[in-house]
C-alpha cells in the first residue's frame, strides 16, 4: 500500500490543504495511453486513495488522430471501472470527463456540443508540446463563447512557451484557467517544466492541481510532493479549486 509519509510538523502544516479531488488522470484501461489492464487501474486507484483523495475525475484522451474516444466509450469504461473498484473495496468516488487535444477534431466536437466537462463547466484541453497551434486563441474563444471555462492541462510542459509572463498572462486574459501537474514540481517532466511550474506558482496563476497519473510510479512520487515545502508554498500564492468539484 502507498502512503504519504509526513513528519509531524509538516503533516500539521499541510493537512488542512490536502487535496480531496484529483481531476486529471488516465485510469480507464485500454482506451488511451493509460493503464493497459484493470489490475493496473485498481493499483492506481488504491494508491490515490492511500494518498488521501476522496474523489477522482479520470480524463481519457480524445485525439482525432490517435484516441477517438467518445462519451459513450468513456462512460462505458467508467461503469466497468467503478464495478471493479467496488469489488476491491475501493471507496473513492470515480467520475469521468476527458482531456481534449486541440486539433481540428475538437472544433467539430464543439460544434456538436456533446462534451465531457469537469463540474459541468470546465473543459480540459491540451496542445502540442512543441508547436503552438495557430488556431489556439480562436479555439479558446470558441470554448468561452459556448459557455465553457477553458482549463489548460499542464501548461508548464509546453516548450513553445518562451516568455512565460507574457504568454501565460495572455492565456489568462482570454479566460483560461491553468491545471498544473503536481509531479512537475519534483522534476518528473524535466527542468523546463519544473522551472515553469514554479513560475506559475509564484505568480499565483494556478487554479487546479492534477496527478495526470498513467502509471504506478507517478502515484508513488506524489507522496514526496505532498511531503515537501513546495507543496505548502503553492497555497500561499494560489487559490486552488480542486475541492470545489467534490
Tens of pLDDT, residues 69-100: 999 999 999 999 999 999 999 999 999 999 99
Mean pLDDT of 20-45: 92
- Contact criterion met (CB below 8 Å) for 5 and 49: no
Three-state secondary structure call for residue 118: strand
Distance CA 237, CA 205 (A): 8
| 9 assigned to some structural domain | no
pLDDT tens digits, residue range 185-194? 999 999 999 9
| 185 assigned to some structural domain | yes
Mean pLDDT of 18-27: 95
Residue 10: predicted pLDDT: 46
Using the 8-state DSSP alphabet, how is residue 213 labeled? B
Distance CA 170, CA 152 (A): 13
| 59 assigned to some structural domain | yes
pLDDT > 50? residue 4? no
Grid coordinates given for 124: 480540459
pLDDT tens digits, residue range 136-164? 999 999 999 999 999 999 999 999 999 99
| 11 assigned to some structural domain | no
Three-state secondary structure call for residue 215: coil
- CATH code of 145's domain: 3.20.20.140
| 120 assigned to some structural domain | yes
Main-chain dihedrals φ then ψ at residue 56, nearest 5 degrees: -125, 135
Task: Label each residue of 62-84 as H, E or C.
Answer: EECCCECCCHHHHHHHHHHHHHH
| Residue of 112, 154, 155 whose CA lies nearest to 23 | 154
| Residue of 151, 128, 238, 228 whose CA lies nearest to 188 | 228
pLDDT > 60? residue 109? yes
Distance CA 228, CA 194 (A): 15
| HSE-up (13 A, CA, CB side) for residue 50 | 17
Higher local confidence (pLDDT), 178 or 68: 178
Residue 35: predicted pLDDT: 79
| 40 assigned to some structural domain | yes
Host domain of residue 236? 20-245
- Contact criterion met (CB below 8 Å) for 208 and 241: yes
Residue 100: predicted pLDDT: 98
| Residue of 38, 26, 7 whose CA lies nearest to 69 | 26
Residue 11: predicted pLDDT: 46
Residue 22, beta-bridge partner list? 56
Domain count within the chain: 1
Amino acid at each position: 500500500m502507498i502512503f504519504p509519509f509526513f513528519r509531524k510538523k509538516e503533516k500539521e502544516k499541510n493537512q488542512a490543504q490536502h487535496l480531496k479531488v484529483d481531476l486529471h488522470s488516465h485510469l480507464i484501461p485500454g482506451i488511451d495511453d493509460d493503464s493497459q489492464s484493470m489490475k493496473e487501474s485498481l493499483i492506481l486507484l488504491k494508491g490515490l486513495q492511500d494518498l488521501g483523495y476522496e474523489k477522482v475525475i479520470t480524463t481519457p484522451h480524445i485525439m482525432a488522430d490517435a484516441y477517438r474516444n467518445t462519451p459513450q466509450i468513456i462512460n462505458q469504461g467508467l461503469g466497468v471501472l467503478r464495478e471493479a473498484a467496488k469489488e476491491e473495496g475501493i471507496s473513492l468516488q470515480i467520475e469521468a470527463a476527458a482531456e481534449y487535444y486541440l486539433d481540428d477534431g475538437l472544433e467539430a466536437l464543439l460544434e456538436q456540443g456533446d462534451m465531457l466537462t469537469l463540474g459541468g463547466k470546465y473543459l480540459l484541453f491540451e496542445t502540442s508540446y512543441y508547436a503552438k497551434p495557430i488556431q489556439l486563441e480562436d479555439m479558446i474563444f470558441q470554448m468561452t463563447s459556448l459557455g465553457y471555462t477553458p482549463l489548460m492541462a499542464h501548461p508548464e510542459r509546453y516548450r513553445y512557451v518562451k516568455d512565460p509572463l507574457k504568454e501565460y498572462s495572455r492565456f489568462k486574459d482570454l479566460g483560461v484557467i491553468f491545471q498544473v501537474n503536481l509531479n512537475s514540481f519534483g522534476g518528473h517532466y524535466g527542468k523546463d517544466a519544473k522551472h515553469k511550474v514554479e513560475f506559475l506558482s509564484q505568480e499565483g496563476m494556478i487554479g487546479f492541481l492534477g496527478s495526470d497519473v498513467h502509471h504506478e510510479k507517478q502515484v508513488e512520487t506524489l507522496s514526496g510532493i505532498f511531503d515537501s515545502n513546495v507543496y505548502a508554498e503553492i497555497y500561499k500564492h494560489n487559490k486552488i479549486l480542486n475541492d470545489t468539484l467534490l
